Amino acid sequence: MHWNSFSDFLHMGGYGLYVWGSFGIAALGMVLEPLLVARQRRVTLARLARQWRAERLEKTPEETTPSPGEAP
Amino acid sequence: MLRLIAAIIARDLRLALRRPADLVAVLFFFVIVASLFPLGVGPETALLRQLAPGVLWVGALLATLLSLPRLFADDFRDGTLEQLALSPHPLGLMVLGKVIAHWLCAGLPLALLAPVLGLQFDLSADALWVLTFSILLGTPALSGIGAIGAGLTLGLRGGGVLLSLLVLPLYIPVLIFGAGAVEATVSGLGAGAHLSLLAALTVGGVVFAPWAAALALKIALE
Amino acid sequence: MNWFKFSAPSTFYPLAGRLIPWFAALAALFGGVGLWIGLVVAPTDFQQGEAYRIIFIHVGAAWMSMFIYLVMAFWGGMGLAFKTRLSGMMTEALAPTGTMFAFLSLWTGALWGRPTWGAWWIWDARLTSSLILLFLYIGFIALTRAIDDPRRADRAGAVLLLVGVVNVPIIYFSVQWWNTLHQPASLSVGKGSSMAAIMLWGMLLCTVAMWMYSIALTLARVRTIILVRERHTDWVRALLAALPAQNSR
């Protein structure tokens, strides 16, 4: 173990701002990006499923009651 | 083959001369940009002499960039480009013709105008010669690389901004050696090495870029 | 083994789904060990003090930004040559991660340069070409987003990637040459050859972690892109039909 105390670790021999500024932004980017990708996937899946259902309704309108928001 | 290229050049020049205002606007842009810098940084001749190579080269580069969107746009709109792409001749050669025509309309007049603007920056006679020669030598590469960008962005909304985003990073080597040649002359080092590298870039740009641009055009026309 | 079989989006989609957890786990494992070595175990550098610890992420980010661009150019070339559908989807999926690493390498480089050289930025060949690389990434994304037809977007993007890949070395060497004329070796950018083995291990592990991270994230992103582009095919429709309808309103 290289550090004597946790505050020593944060201080980084006087370079804390530079070191943690780098690691912080890297961590932020590498956490935010997967979250964004996951959100994109959820949104896309919901949109595609909605489109698919709308298409199916259009093809067989007699089976279901026409919804008011249906595109012509 | 040469006759084909010559025919394309002649046709493009005729079309360009039919609308001289476009040509003149590009030249005026160069004049205005070059004149703004002394007003911005102050009239000290020593400072201006130091800035001149970079400022004049960046000005020439941006002026070339401004004239790029029209390289294919008119032919695209009236369907000529599609005819050219369908003809049995290789599209790359025809793009080469258009690149040469573009250089005759943009690079050549810019190079001839540059020494006049160089006088504003108190450049020596030697430096003025090298400035003219380096712009003459470097602008064909700018036209060639620019043709790739113009082909890729053909017919897109916001194409002009996009074009500069794509093309400007690729212009950096030409800028470095072009401005470097003038600067080397100003500081008495001799411009030979810079000019030969600039010539190499131009040969590469003129030989390879038209084929990449032709590929880009084919993709855009599909 | 038939590699072309996997380049069909319908086979690649489930394969990617199965691979993602493995790469994500590897990324976490290597990243954890690498960071532990880099931040806790590795000793202080006698020249740069603790500031040198930035290179544990800087080097990996810089390598990944270059490597991802090469991989994109490879896929772009494949797409132009063989017209495989997957190629364009791969370039589209790789670009945001590459852009992030290009940005990270510049950001951490500036934060490393300030205490080490006393300047946030110098016009050195390596720094300048990293900046140009970021511009090339942004140009690629801007171009492909501006084109509505995905087929044209893929192919135009591929041409741009190939032109860029030819240009990056030219830019690097021209800036280097220009730089030696302007700054006669006042600042040396060398990392110092005598690097302790433990530091090298930390750096290597962090780089491998970023590599695994990029693969996992690209696979995740390409899965979404596949769904969008193949939404009219039977297999995607079957997949959508099987979805639970909790999203419907």
Query: Can you spell out the DSSP letters for C118-185?
Result: S-S----HHHHHHHHHHHHHHHHHHHHHH-SSHHHHHHHHHHHHHHHHHHHHHHHHHHHHHHHHHS-S
Structural domains of chain C, count: 1
- Which residue stretches of chain A have pLDDT < 50? 64-72
How confident is the model at residue B79, as a pLDDT? Answer: 85
Q: Which two tokens stand for residue B19?
A: 């609308």
User: Closest by alpha carbon to C130, among C94, C156, C105, C154?
Assistant: C105
How confident is the model at residue C233, as a pLDDT? Answer: 85
How confident is the prediction for chain C on average, in pLDDT?
84
Q: Is B162 on the interface with C (CB under 8 A)?
A: yes
Q: Which residues in A lie closer than 8 A to residue C41 (C-beta atoms)?
A: 1-2
- Interval C137-153: pLDDT, tens: 999 999 999 998 888 99
Q: Is B114 on the interface with C (CB under 8 A)?
A: no
| Residue C241 to residue A52, Cβ atoms within 8 A | yes
The nearest alpha carbon in chain A to C219 belongs to A37
Cα–Cα dist B64/C219, whole Å? 41
Position C100 in a domain: yes
Strands (E), B63-129: none
The nearest alpha carbon in chain A to C112 belongs to A18
Position C233 in a domain: no
Q: Which two tokens stand for residue C38?
A: 């880099």
Q: Is A3 on the interface with C (CB under 8 A)?
A: yes
Going residue by residue through chain B, which has 222 residues, state the pLDDT in tens, using 9 for 90 and above. 788 888 888 888 888 888 888 889 999 999 999 989 888 888 888 888 888 889 999 999 999 999 898 888 888 888 888 888 888 888 888 899 999 999 999 999 999 999 999 888 888 888 899 999 999 999 999 999 999 999 999 888 877 889 999 999 999 999 988 988 888 888 877 778 888 889 999 998 888 999 999 999 989 888
The three-state DSSP-derived secondary structure of B10-24 is HHHHHHHHHCHHHHH
Q: Which two tokens stand for residue C167?
A: 């240009």
Q: Is the pLDDT of residue C71 over 90?
A: yes
Neighbours of chain C (3+ CB pairs under 8 A): A, B
Position C149 in a domain: yes
How confident is the model at residue C6, as a pLDDT? Answer: 65
Q: Is C243 on the interface with A (CB under 8 A)?
A: yes
User: Closest by alpha carbon to C239, among B116, A3, A44, B33?
Assistant: A44
Q: Place C187 in a pLDDT band, splitting at 50, 70 and 90.
A: very low
Position C32 in a domain: yes
The contacts of residue B168 (CB under 8 Å, 6+ apart) are B61, B65, C135
Does the predicted TM-score (pTM) go above 0.80? yes
Q: Which residues in A lie closer than 8 A to residue C111 (C-beta atoms)?
A: 18-19, 21-22
CA distances to B142, C29, C93, C164 from C158, rounded to whole Å, are 21, 34, 13, 10
CA distances to B211, C88, C228 from C10, rounded to whole Å, are 35, 15, 12
Q: Which residues in B lie closer than 8 A to residue C164 (C-beta atoms)?
A: 170
Q: Which of B148, B157, B176 is nearest residue C163 as measured by Cβ atoms?
A: B148
Looking at the DSSP assignment, which residues form a beta bridge with residue C41? none
How confident is the model at residue C7, as a pLDDT? Answer: 73
Q: Is A43 on the interface with C (CB under 8 A)?
A: no
Q: Is B166 on the interface with C (CB under 8 A)?
A: yes
Q: Is the pLDDT of residue C69 over 90?
A: yes
Neighbours of chain A (3+ CB pairs under 8 A): C
More confident residue, B42 or C96: C96
Residue C207 sits in which domain range?
Answer: 26-42+50-183+198-227
Q: Which of C40, C50, C104 is nearest residue A19 as measured by Cβ atoms?
A: C50
The nearest alpha carbon in chain C to A46 belongs to C247
Strands (E), B43-85: none
Q: Which two tokens stand for residue B83?
A: 């005819």
Q: Which of C139, C162, C174 is nearest residue B166 as measured by Cβ atoms?
A: C139
Let me know if C44 is exposed, middle or buried by CB neighbors in 10 A (0-12, 13-18, 19+): middle
CB–CB contacts below 8 A, A to C: 100
- DSSP letter (8 states) at residue C122: -
Q: Is the pLDDT of residue C76 over 90?
A: yes
ipTM at complex level = 0.87
- Interval C190-230: pLDDT, tens: 444 456 778 888 888 999 999 999 999 999 999 999 999 88
Cα–Cα dist C196/B173, whole Å? 38
Q: Place C3 in a pLDDT band, splitting at 50, 70 and 90.
A: low
Residue type, C222: V
How confident is the model at residue C193, as a pLDDT? Answer: 46
Which of C83, C132, C141, C143 to probe by mutation at the B interface, max B CB count within 10 Å?
A: C143
Position C18 in a domain: no
Pair B140, B103: CB distance under 8 Å:
yes
Q: Which residues in C lie closer than 8 A to residue B152 (C-beta atoms)?
A: 143, 156, 159-160
Instruction: For residue A19, give how far its alpha carbon lies from the nearest alpha carbon of chain C (Å).
Output: 6
Position C71 in a domain: yes
Q: Is the pLDDT of residue C4 over 70?
A: no
Angle formed at CA B12 by CA B8 and CA B17, multiple of 5 degrees: 150
Position C220 in a domain: yes
How confident is the model at residue C30, as a pLDDT? Answer: 93
Cα–Cα dist B144/B164, whole Å? 14
Looking at the DSSP assignment, which residues form a beta bridge with residue C49? C45
> CA torsion A6→A7→A13→A16, rounded to 10°?
100
- Interval C57-67: pLDDT, tens: 888 899 999 99
How confident is the model at residue B184, as a pLDDT? Answer: 86
Long-range contacts: B2-7, Cβ < 8 Å, 24+?
B4/B89, B4/B93, B4/B94, B4/B97, B5/B93, B5/B94, B5/B96, B5/B97, B5/B100, B6/B97, B7/B97
How confident is the model at residue B62, as a pLDDT? Answer: 93
Residue type, C7: S
Position C238 in a domain: no
